[in-house]
Amino acid sequence: MLDRAQVEAICHLVLEEATTDQVEVLVNAGESALTRYADNRIHQNVAETGSAISIRAVQGQRLGVCSTNDPRPEALRAALAKATELAAIAPENPEFPGLPSAPRPQPGPDPVAATINSTPEERGKAVREVLEVAAGDSLTASGALETTYTHLAVANSEGAFAYGEFTRSSMSAVMETEDSAGRAEAHAADVSAIDARALATIAAGKALASRDPRSLEPGRYTVVLEPLAVADMIFWLGLYGCNALAYQDKRSFLCEKLGQKIASEKISLGDDGLDPRGLPMTFDFEGVPKQPVELISKGVAMGMVHDSRTAAHADPPVTSTGHALPAPNPWGPVPTNMFLRPGEATVADMLRSVDRGLLVTRFHYTNIIHPINTVFTGMTRDGTFLIEEGEIVAGVHNLRFTQSILEALGNVKMVGSEGVQCEYAWCPPLLVEGFSFTGVSGE
């Protein structure tokens, strides 16, 4: 694995030998390890070390990008030459504002030694705890435990330079019977913070409680959405709506609605790459320091995230908030460290308030079908339950839904007091009225 000195040497070589007007180099070097299990046994145990180096050459408003996974000087020179060649023949991009000059980002949290040094034996021990829970309840278990350690650097000819080391870990546990399933997962910088037995116990409880599922008719139901389901909604909202490129292209729900009420006053959503509750990342893929961004405040649309391109084309121009993805990037800036402000309710409070409704563990195979109206569709999965008179009374067959995300957030009646970090967002559970289910998923 490349160390910091080697990463900086790569950046220095590219910047020194570039002949175009501007140049940028992005180095992503790291190692990852994965232990996967299914049918109550480990079936895959792999580790990978590698690097990805991307060079963006700029000649006027012509851009060329070339990538390589070979850090040797001759390979870097070849990639730089190819990026330069591509920049010479590329059509002009009149929207390109030039590479950003940016201040050095503040240091982030140190990488976690437990994650860096995680061994196959330690991951196997965590999986064993899951399998012991499965065996005790005669369930079939599957899932995965993954750790990553990344050295990320961005440098450009305008003086921008950012470097960070990040650790990530995630674990999923799925428990199944012949006609039911339950799932739990966790994401953390520190793998030792993940409690495998607790995840297994939650997943097993869901699988056992949802046996012999009932069939329900489609319709609008009051729902208790657990954090995984909430995070799925928030991800699509951020990707398609809180994105300045979508706003400038008039594809965002924020068009004509900034400063207006778009959700329940109980909903406040922001993005903050420095918040220690999540998976901190202090800069974006242009080397720009990440800034906290208020997206929704007490139900009112407040703002969006920017990269250097959208910031330059804003009216009036603004400063990038540090949300660029790697070039070439058709998506525009994307919030990937979102936080939904917690409320005061417990899940028990939510359940007690429901006369008849559903508890949803997570959504599956979701997609946006109308970005401006934030309509998305998908299915429930791995634990969907009928609530009657304040209590969970049965599991139900999975349902398909078609629902406006903003409508759902407008119908929020309670927000949970505790949340968890999901893949891209930290979320508490929500109690939502009138969630639209359109059919049975067949799973």
Residues 6+ positions from 270 with CB-CB distance below 8 Å: 292, 293, 294, 295, 296, 338, 339, 341
What is the residue extent of each domain of the chain?
4-199, 213-443
Looking at the whole model, is its pTM more than 0.85? yes
The residues facing 338 across adjacent strands are: 271, 425
Class at the top of the CATH hierarchy for domain 4-199: alpha beta
C-alpha–C-alpha distance, residues 377 and 361, integer Å: 16
Q: How many residues are recorded in the chain? A: 443
Q: Concatenated DSSP letters for 11-54?
A: HHHHHHH--SSEEEEEEEEEEEEEEEEETTEEEEEEEEEEEEEE
Give Cα 229 to chain centroid, integer Å: 13
| pLDDT tens-place values along the chain, 443 residues long | 899 999 999 999 999 999 999 999 999 999 999 999 999 999 999 999 999 999 999 999 999 999 999 999 999 999 999 999 999 999 999 999 999 998 999 888 999 999 999 999 999 999 999 999 999 999 999 999 999 999 999 999 999 999 999 999 999 999 999 999 999 999 999 999 999 999 999 999 999 999 999 999 999 999 999 999 999 999 999 999 999 999 999 999 999 999 999 999 999 999 999 999 999 999 999 999 999 999 999 999 999 999 999 999 999 999 999 999 999 999 999 999 999 999 999 999 999 999 999 999 999 999 999 999 999 999 999 999 999 999 999 999 999 999 999 999 999 999 999 999 999 999 999 999 999 999 988 65
Residues 6+ positions from 429 with CB-CB distance below 8 Å: 224, 225, 226, 227, 230, 347, 350, 415, 416, 419
C-alpha–C-alpha distance, residues 420 and 427, integer Å: 6
C-alpha–C-alpha distance, residues 82 and 77, integer Å: 9
- Residue at token pair 């196997």: 124
pLDDT at 1: 86
pLDDT at 442: 63
